[in-house]
Chain A
């Protein structure tokens, strides 16, 4: 993911890299874009911008390295820089705010949850998706990257330009927020929570 200008690709090599290393990720890219913007047209624009940038800066991509992480990083930066600015949707929590309030890597690891494994497993796809979509964009992003796309902490650190410790703690907080959502769904579904002392 180095920004160093490497040897230049020939026209033919460019097409090869683009088709064989970039295009196969379009499914994941579109889904990431959709989950960030919640809008088909915005997602299409974001993916298209990302691929155009990828093509324009193709010489800074080293063939055989992690193309998917490289593309995700471009998409996430485009989202922050271009899309978020013109978006009408008010951000629930801004990236900057999250950094200010939550940038400490100390996380409170406590077992307070009364959510049952069975209740989680019985959730519908819509409920899981809604719970994920309800999270502020920073928290949603780490869950998408880790759980839906299978990136490692190290890859996520590079995609998001944050230290690995911050990846770990943000992911932990994100999953706790997700559990809060799922717990409230579980309650409306009538599952008994494990202890009713709340």
Chain B
């Protein structure tokens, strides 16, 4: 089934979801994966579940990184820390 696919068509089921998804997630997490770019191109081009998983995981990471509410450090905190350190010096 997985052989002889017409050009440009993706497999609808992934041969090894666990291995593929773990690999994709490691690449997205910036881990050192040998030969990662070539493998990534290959999987995204040929496997529909991998393609979908990659883009969803990528979107999740992007929104977390860019949209989570950031809290400002309260003004007095740094002064309090320095004061306490003077006391224990």
Closest chain A CB from B79 CB (angstroms): 11
Closest chain A CB from B43 CB (angstroms): 13
Task: Please measure, in the bound complex, the distance between the C-alpha atom of A51 and the C-alpha atom of B81, giving whole angstroms.
Answer: 7
Residues of B contacting A: mostly:
helix
User: Residues 63-89 of chain B: 1 if any A CB is under 8 Å from the residue's CB, otherwise 0?
Assistant: 111011111011001101100110011
Residues of A contacting B: mostly:
helix
Q: Contacts of A125 on B, CB cut-off 8 Å?
A: 67-69
Q: Contacts of B64 on A, CB cut-off 8 Å?
A: 128, 132, 143, 147-148
Indicate if the CB atoms of A121 and B62 lie closer than 8 Å: yes
Task: Please measure, in the bound complex, the distance between the C-alpha atom of A88 and the C-alpha atom of B71, giving whole angstroms.
Answer: 22
Indicate if the CB atoms of A120 and B60 lie closer than 8 Å: yes
Closest chain A CB from B89 CB (angstroms): 8
Please name the residue on chain A nearest to B71 by beta carbon: A34
Do A121 and B84 form a contact, CB below 8 Å, given A23-B78, A111-B49?
no
- The number of chain B residues touching the other chain, given as a range, is 35 or more
Task: Please measure, in the bound complex, the distance between the C-alpha atom of A146 and the C-alpha atom of B31, giving whole angstroms.
Answer: 11
Q: Is B17 part of the contact surface with A, judged by Cβ < 8 Å?
A: yes
Choose from A56, A126, A152 the contact partner of B31 (Cβ within 8 Å). Answer: A152
For the complex, count residues of A whose C-beta is within 8 A of B.
Answer: 48
Task: Please measure, in the bound complex, the distance between the C-alpha atom of A190 and the C-alpha atom of B40, giving whole angstroms.
Answer: 33
Q: Is A189 part of the contact surface with B, judged by Cβ < 8 Å?
A: no
Indicate if the CB atoms of B85 and A115 lie closer than 8 Å: no
Q: Contacts of A115 on B, CB cut-off 8 Å?
A: 56
User: Residues 120-141 of chain A: 1 if any B CB is under 8 Å from the residue's CB, otherwise 0?
Assistant: 1101111011001000000000
User: Residues 162-178 of chain A: 1 if any B CB is under 8 Å from the residue's CB, otherwise 0?
Assistant: 00000010011001001
Q: Is B2 part of the contact surface with A, judged by Cβ < 8 Å?
A: no
Please name the residue on chain B nearest to A153 by beta carbon: B31
Indicate if the CB atoms of B30 and A152 lie closer than 8 Å: yes
Q: Is A4 part of the contact surface with B, judged by Cβ < 8 Å?
A: no
Indicate if the CB atoms of A129 and B68 lie closer than 8 Å: yes
User: Residues 20-37 of chain B: 1 if any A CB is under 8 Å from the residue's CB, otherwise 0?
Assistant: 111001100111000000
Indicate if the CB atoms of B59 and A120 lie closer than 8 Å: yes
Please name the residue on chain A nearest to B77 by beta carbon: A44
Q: Contacts of B85 on A, CB cut-off 8 Å?
A: 18, 51-52, 55
Indicate if the CB atoms of B70 and A31 lie closer than 8 Å: yes
Q: Is A47 part of the contact surface with B, judged by Cβ < 8 Å?
A: yes
B residues touching A (Cβ–Cβ < 8 Å)?
14, 17-18, 20-22, 25-26, 29-31, 49, 52-53, 55-57, 59-65, 67-71, 73-74, 77-78, 80-81, 84-85, 88-89
Q: Which 5 A-B pairs have the closest CB atoms?
A: A147-B64, A109-B18, A125-B67, A109-B21, A120-B59
